[in-house]
Amino acid sequence: MMEILEFDTIAAISTPPGEGAISIVRLSGPDAVKIASSVYQFKNKNLQQVQSHTIHYGHIVDPAAKQIVDEVMVAVMLAPKTFTREDVVEINCHGGIVVVNQILQLLLRQGARLAEPGEFTKRAFLNGRIDLSQAEAVMDLIRAKTDKAAANALQQLDGNLSHLVGSLRQEILETLAQVEVNIDYPEYEDVEELTSRLMAEKAQELQVRIANILKHARQGKILREGLKTAIIGRPNVGKSSLLNYLLKEDKAIVTEIAGTTRDVIEEYVNLGGVPLKLIDTAGIRETEDVVEAIGVKRSMVALNEADLVLLVLNQNEELTKEDDDLLDLTKDKERLVLLNKMDLAKKIDFSTLEKRVPQDELVTVSVLTNVGLDYLGEKIQERFFAGKIESQDATYISNIRHVHLLEEAQTALEEVITGINAGMPVDLVQIDFTRAWEKLGEIIGESAPDELITQLFSQFCLGK
């Protein structure tokens, strides 16, 4: 078992701020139980004498003022079978800003230190309970926008990625060890050739396996961060109505007056398991209105940055020059063209439109009557997930850091093959093989620099 490092005792509020039924104040460290016991009171019970993983009713009392602060339930969990592998105490108090902050201040006065962002999870990593990829999965699970994204994060938290990377690293290590044996104890005259062939074959095999992981990286990124989706169109074609339908609330103002939407509105929505970061834009058109013109400019920025464009057209009207311009502007983008207002008479020239827009990009809908919109989620899944999201597939790598390191490992393996083909000495080729091993190690924290670890955990919320 990995040695548990010695830290001080930290405390933080682990639930969101504001009013609620329950809030939790968490302690972790060698004096966690002692500090909690100093402010806990119920008959003659001493928290330092209770069994691990038990919960106890009582009161939190200010020792100096001799006043009861709150009625609580206190969970005591002793090392090493805790999240941090340290003694952990969780005080379940009534939700509310005043009470929970009073309890936290009491614990700090009794000797605890206010935890830094992500410090509980950082201690779990430093004490060997989880690796770096699992630590990152904790935050991915908290930030998940859909059940599919949560399932993907949970797979990583359970160690699927860790085992996969560990297996790749172990094979590189075994190959390097075999190379050393061949060099130090040559049994054949052509040992150099045999060793080079061994490294080349293993490098090619590992390249294929890493390529299979990277193949789904784009989908993993979408599940983790959301598909940046711009809803565009000329004014008054139904963009804001579409946003309101997808959000199931009246977020955007809808009127018959063109140019009502003046700014970009961003919201997350779950559409068939795919998290969409929806961007409702101002209608793109020439305008002399200064405020609307700023909105149109921002719409163009959103369009350029979008992963997916939903171009809304009104099929109750003939194509306008503005429609033509938007069709040209988006022809090289990932897009779906929504032909809205199918409940009204069709005046749009379908024959002309179908010459300019592939059939698989067209979706006929009526936002007013909610017809055809369920099909939209299926079309997006077809476009980005080949029609199906496999939430149990551990190869959905969602973290851009992991993707970058896998690509660097791929490059190192390619240089191994190139070096062998060029007739480079084995000891030089080993350097690239070792670099691939190190890059994979950075994913799980085996060879990650301290600055990276500090930076990663600083992105966590307080109390986690």
Six token digits for residue 219:
């989908």
Judge if 226 and 204 occupy the same domain: no
The predicted pLDDT at position 294 comes to: 60
Residue owning tokens 């020239």: 349
What is the Cα 178 distance to its own chain's centre?
38
Angstrom distance (rounded) from CA 63 to CA 54: 24
The predicted pLDDT at position 289 comes to: 53
pTM of the model: 0.69
Judge if 33 and 99 occupy the same domain: yes
Inform me whether the pLDDT recorded for 331 exceeds 70: yes
Range with the largest mean pLDDT of 104-118, 210-224, 318-332: 104-118
Judge if 402 and 379 occupy the same domain: no
Q: Is residue 457 part of a domain?
A: no
Judge if 194 and 288 occupy the same domain: no
Inform me whether the pLDDT recorded for 324 exceeds 70: yes
Six token digits for residue 44:
């003659």
Judge if 211 and 244 occupy the same domain: no
Q: Is residue 462 part of a domain?
A: no
The predicted pLDDT at position 371 comes to: 85
Q: How confident is the model at residue 250 (pLDDT cuts 50, 70, 90)?
A: low
Full domain range(s) for residue 58: 10-131
CB atoms within 10 A of CB 328: 10
Residues above pLDDT 90, as percent of the chain: 35
Judge if 180 and 248 occupy the same domain: no
Residues 271 and 393: beta-carbon distance below 8 Å: no
The predicted pLDDT at position 186 comes to: 59
Bridge partners, 88 (sequence order): 28, 77
The predicted pLDDT at position 85 comes to: 95
Judge if 365 and 334 occupy the same domain: yes
Q: What CATH number corresponds to the domain at position 152?
A: 1.20.120.430
Domain boundary among 77, 112, 131: 131
Q: What CATH number corresponds to the domain at position 292?
A: 3.40.50.300
Q: Is residue 48 part of a domain?
A: yes
The predicted pLDDT at position 428 comes to: 87
Helix 191-214 / helix 426-444 crossing angle, nearest 10 deg: 30
Judge if 437 and 402 occupy the same domain: yes
The predicted pLDDT at position 255 comes to: 38
Domain boundary among 99, 131, 163: 131
Domain boundary among 76, 109, 131: 131
Q: Is residue 250 part of a domain?
A: yes
Q: What is the pLDDT of residues 259-315, one digit of tens each?
A: 444 345 677 787 777 788 887 665 555 555 545 556 666 667 777 878 888 899 998
Judge if 261 and 286 occupy the same domain: yes
Q: What is the DSSP string of 352-413?
A: HHHHHS-GGGEEE-BTTTTBS-HHHHHHHHHHHHTT---TT-TT----HHHHHHHHHHHHHH
Q: What is the pLDDT of residues 368-427, one digit of tens each?
A: 888 888 788 888 888 877 655 554 444 567 688 888 999 999 999 999 999 999 988 888
Total count of domains within the chain? 3
Mean predicted confidence (pLDDT) in 13-25: 90
Mean predicted confidence (pLDDT) in 195-215: 89
Q: Is residue 293 part of a domain?
A: yes
Q: How confident is the model at residue 234 (pLDDT cuts 50, 70, 90)?
A: confident
Judge if 20 and 164 occupy the same domain: no
- Minimum mean pLDDT among 10-24, 178-192, 230-244, 308-322: which range? 178-192
Q: Is residue 302 part of a domain?
A: yes
Q: Is residue 2 part of a domain?
A: no
Judge if 247 and 349 occupy the same domain: yes
Judge if 196 and 227 occupy the same domain: no
Q: Is residue 464 part of a domain?
A: no
